[in-house]
Amino acid sequence: MSLPTHVRLVEVGPRDGLQNEAQPITVADKVRLVDDLSEAGLSYIEVGSFVSPKWVPQMAGSAEVFSAIKQRAGVTYAALAPNLRGLEDALAAGVKEVAVFAAASEGFSQRNINCSISESLKRFEPIMDAAQAHGIRVRGYVSCVLGCPYEGKVNAEQVAPVAKALHDMGCYEVSLGDTIGSGTAGDTRRLFEVVAQQVPRAQLAGHFHDTYGQALANVYASLLEGIHVFDSSVAGLGGCPYAKGATGNIATEDVLYLLQGLGIETGIDLDRLIAAGQRISQVLGRANGSRVAKARSAQ
């Protein structure tokens, strides 16, 4: 399969990146991050989550963040919604696109959203109905597509029915998440081969965490499988509170560098993106997790 000429990057740093941080991060710092990212040319930014603050305290200020960001034309500002309450809160905050999240393993589903996979799919149905009534699009996630922190290796055959269920209920795109970052390029190719029999490739996305250092190879393997949407996190921020030891998503700067080298267009300015990543890394008092940003700032 030939490589695409254009790839869309879904920036999940303000949500997946920050949700795991124990230290308080001010609304102003979150807003600045989102604004820096939109100014760098990201066209899709996951800004926050309308989840229970008991489960993920860091996302509690998501409504305030939404009301303070500068919304640029042509940029999608999205949020996670685990249930109808989350969708209603998102709508009240003016959110125009939400994402629901399921898992391919029962163990992770229970720990992350306190219900079974089939219960979660049922819980999403009223979200889909209400979203449709308000004319907003819903993206779907499947977590633990290559491995689970509680159950070990996960087969593509476990992922396909969950991805299909999300697609069938109306998710316009289904993002497959290697939550613990244990998958290899071979696993990734097989995953998309199997899932693409149920959901068209054009409606699938790759979401790779870099725990085992495989994320960039997995993005390349996905490109070879005809996938052209990837989730990434500026400065490689993040992890999932219910997947111990999982590092951040692949750094947006590093995916962008790969894509530029392949002559694939994204519309993102690498220098401005690096500046955004450096700023939030300083706020958090962390080393920048992007190899490209580290290399560039050492020059």
* Contact residues: Mg ion, CB under 5 A: 16
Residue 222, CA atoms < 13 Å, CB-side half-sphere: 31
Active site residue 144: no
Q: In angstroms, what CA-CA distances link 131 with 93, 113, 146, 214?
A: 14, 20, 30, 35
User: In the complex with ligand HMG, which residue's Cβ is closer, 172 or 271?
Assistant: 172
| Angstrom distance (rounded) from CA 246 to CA 272 | 27
Site string for ligand HMG, 5-44 (x = CB under 6 A): -----------x--x-------------------------
Q: Looking at 78-86, 188-196, 210-218, 263-271, which segment touches ligand HMG (CB under 6 A)?
A: 78-86
Q: In angstroms, what CA-CA distances link 40 with 54, 264, 277?
A: 33, 17, 11
| Angstrom distance (rounded) from CA 16 to CA 12 | 5
Sorted by sequence, the CB contacts under 8 Å of residue 4 that are 6+ apart come out as: 223, 226, 228, 264
Among 85, 122, 153, 244, binds ligand HMG (CB under 6 A): 85
Q: Looking at 66-74, 109-117, 182-190, 256-264, which segment touches ligand HMG (CB under 6 A)?
A: 109-117
Tokens representing 198 are: 């149920």
Q: Which residue is nearest to Mg ion (CB)?
A: 16
The conformational region for residue 100 under phi > 0 = left, psi -120 to 50 = alpha, else beta, is beta
Among 112, 182, 222, 288, binds ligand HMG (CB under 6 A): 112
Give the nearest distance from C-beta 81 to ligand HMG in angstroms.
Answer: 7
Binding site for ligand HMG (CB under 6 A): 16, 19, 49-52, 54-56, 80, 82-83, 85-86, 89, 101, 112-114, 141, 143, 177, 179, 207, 209, 240, 242
Active site residues: 240
